[in-house]
Structures are given as C-alpha cells and as structure tokens.
Amino acid sequence: MFIDKVKIYVKAGNGGNGCVSFRREKYVAKGGPDGGDGGNGGNVIFTIDKGTNTLLSFRYKRKFVATNGGDGAGAKFHGKNGEDIIIKVPEGTLIKDEKSGKILKDMSNCEDWVCAKGGRGGWGNKHFATPTRQIPMFAKSGTKGQEWELTLELKMLADVGLVGLPSAGKSSLLAAVSDARPKIADYHFTTLSPNLGVVRVREGHGFVMADIPGLIEGASEGQGLGHAFLRHIERCRLLVQVVDISCFEGRNPIDDIKVIDEELTKFSPELSTRPRIICANKMDSLDRSVVDVDAFESYVKERGWDLIYISAYTGENTEELIEKIDRMLTDLPPLTIYEADYAPEDAILSDGDDHAITITKDDKGTYVVEGEWLFNLVGQVNFYDRESLSFFQRVLLKSGVIDKLREAGCKDGDAVSIYDFEFDFVI
C-alpha cells in the first residue's frame, strides 16, 4: 500500500518541577536550601530515512509523545531529562501545520530537525537564596513542551517526471532506461503508485525519473488515479509527456496532449509551464496512413516543446532520449526545496490559542505582565542568546503585549517584569 499524506500529533515532554528542600545533616548547622532543578522534557525530532519512499509506517501510529523531565530532588539532585523521540520520514516529506496548512519544514537534503522542543525544567529553591531571603519556600515549575497537529505530505525527489494517459507506455519507458521494475500490462491503471528509477548517463552521473499513475480527463474532479499523485512531480525540473503515437486504442495524439496539459494546469498552473519533452512512444507500430504526423509535429512545434520518437518496447531512440534529457537538465535550476512559511513566533501565536495577559503595577512602580502562555514562553527562551532574545521581542510585538503596556501607561524607561525577566521599556 502506498501512503503519501497523513495527519499526526506530536508533543514534546514537559519540564520537571524544581524541588523545595533544605539540607539536614547531623553536625551541619544552617545547611540552607538544596532543592534540585527539574529535568528538561524530551524533544520531538524528525530525521530522513533514506530507505523508504512511503508514509506507510504512519498508518497505525499517529501520536508521538516524548517523555517528561523528572522532578528535582533534595541534595541538589537534578531531575532526569526526558528522552527525545525520533520520527523517521522519507526524503522529500513536507511537514505542515495542520491548522494553517503552512510549511514548517521540507525534509529534503537537510539535517535532523527539532519540531517540538521539550519544556525547560524548573529551578529548585537553591537558586532563590539571597542574603535577605535565606529560607526560600518556593521553587519554579517546569514549562510545557510544544505540541503540534501536523500534516506530512510526501513529494518525491525526482529530476524528471513522466506524465501521460493510461497505457501510453510510461512504465515501459521507466523500465527500459533504469533498473526500476514497475508492473507493466496492457490495461488501464497498471500503475497504482508512483515509481522511481535512477537513470545512469555516464560513470558517476545520472538523474532520477518518476512515473505516476496515468491521468485521464476529469482527473482534477477526482476521476482516475493519477491526479492524487501529481504532487510527486511538483519538484521535477523537467516533464516528459509520453504519447501513444500508434493510435492503437483509437485516440488522437494531439487530443491526448491537450487532455494532459489541461489537467496539469488545473492542478498547478506553474507545473504546466515546466520545460517539457513530448515523447512519441510505440513508433514501432506507427502507421502514417492512420496518423497525421505532420499535424502532430506542427502542434508540438507551435508550443515550443521538444519532440522525440521512441519505442520503449524495442529500445529504439531511448538512448537519444536520455542524452536529450541530460543536456536539458544541465541548464535547468536544481530541484525545488520549499522554504518554511511559518515563522517560529507563529507557533506561539497560532490561531485559537488564548493569549490573554494581565498587567499590574507593584510597589516599586514596575509593570508586571502575567499570562499562562507567557509563562511557557519565558521557559523556552535563552535570554543570554541574542537570537533567542530577538525571537522573544518579536512575540511580544506580534501578540500585542507592547501595545497593551502602552495602554496601561507604560512609558519610555519604565521597568517591566515578565516572570523574573526584567527590562526597561523602550519605545
């Protein structure tokens, strides 16, 4: 079974709570606080599995939860860190936010990616001892780990995509030019899932070719099999449209080209403008008294496409086709790698979440900002790192915290406190 789109739920582990404890040891006076910190929650990490080309492993398991960090203990014992959970996906998998549909990460030619960060462990009471507060009776709770509802969508990495009507000879061509062995028969929809083949041009050089199920008229309305798999050629740098030039089934090759072109346009206007080679297959059975070859060649030439006659069955002109593809690929841009269109702060400010805050003023004139989501945010920020601090500032701006501080009367130079993080307000 081929599965190329699934929905899953992932959650990083929560941070462990800090401990309230005091050293009690015989003959040791005034031991003081010794509560240990909580452990960090485990992360959810995606990694590329080179050996797979389907999301079948997610058919029965769609919930992935990392372990929580352990709570701190006395004697300054640090809680155990939660274990990371590793999720393996095929190369070319797009990871999207299920709610917004925005791309979080394209798992193509990249390192492991931390999708959900575990919560930070809370501080034990040993951190809160001061000359004036020698017996701190409190500790910090751990923060929550991030969680996502995700859509995994596989878009295979192939340089060349084979498109055409059923029984045009796409699978036969793939088998003739590569080591792939797709199922081949003379009935419609032999190909039930995309097939990949590596075409070797010369020593140490080649390209990847993808064969998808045949398209039929009305595929954009859900008819047939191929339209659901067109996402696998969206990355392709070049399209090879296979046409049955023998007209064995009574079809007109010009009409065949029009049908495919219309379905490609309905699926993706950009995909339909991709460089294309018209591959007139089954030339060994061509009867020029039946097929108007001149009209066919004129139609292809008017649209600026390259044309080559081949026979996947006998192998005639297949070498010439490979050489033509190789030359065209040399001048074409590399495979499409999708950029993330979901900023890190969007994860904090996703629609539907409660971003309520309260602003009060303490005895010292400091503006105190509180809110559950802010508490979790502060636990995820490293205030000693410039990039992390910049991320924190962007969240405050986008969430409207800065505007609400102004409305509360906060002016330039006033002190602001957000869960132990204090800064001077700057307009």
Strands 238-244 and 160-163: parallel
Domain ranges of the chain: 1-154, 160-331, 351-424
- Superfamily assignment of 160-331 in CATH? P-loop containing nucleotide triphosphate hydrolases (3.40.50.300)
Mean pLDDT of 318-346: 83
**Residue 36 above 50 pLDDT?**
yes
Report pLDDT for 351.
47
Tell me how far apart the alpha carbons of residues 145 and 68 are, in angstroms, rounded to a whole number.
8
Could you check whether 1-154 and 351-424 share the same CATH topology? Answer: no
pLDDT, tens digit (0-9, with 9 covering 90-100), for 258-309 = 988 888 888 888 888 899 999 999 898 888 878 888 999 999 999 999 999 9
Candidate from 21-25, 111-115, 236-240 with smallest mean pLDDT: 21-25
CATH of domain 351-424: 3.30.300.350
Q: Mean pLDDT, the chain, as a whole number? A: 84
pTM reported for the whole predicted model: 0.73
Q: Which pLDDT score is estimated for 342?
A: 67
Specify the range with the lowest mean pLDDT, choosing from 14-23, 152-161, 172-181, 227-236. 227-236
pLDDT at 388 over 90: no
Cα gap 190→197, rounded to integer Å? 17
Q: Which pLDDT belongs to residue 193? A: 63
The Cβ of residue 413 has, within 10 Å, a number of other Cβ atoms equal to 9
Q: 1-154 adopts what CATH topology?
A: Spo0b-associated Gtp-binding Protein; Chain: A, (2.70.210)
Mean pLDDT of 363-385: 81
Q: Is the pLDDT of residue 191 over 60?
A: no
Q: How high is the pLDDT of residue 275?
A: 93
Pairing verdict, β 358-361 and 44-48: unpaired
- Of the pLDDT bands very low, low, confident and very high (cuts 50, 70, 90), residue 1 is very low
Whether 352 has a pLDDT exceeding 50, the answer reads no
Cβ partners under 8 Å of residue 227, min gap 6: 215, 219, 220, 263, 267
Q: Tens of pLDDT along 154-184?
A: 887 888 988 888 888 888 888 888 876 765 5
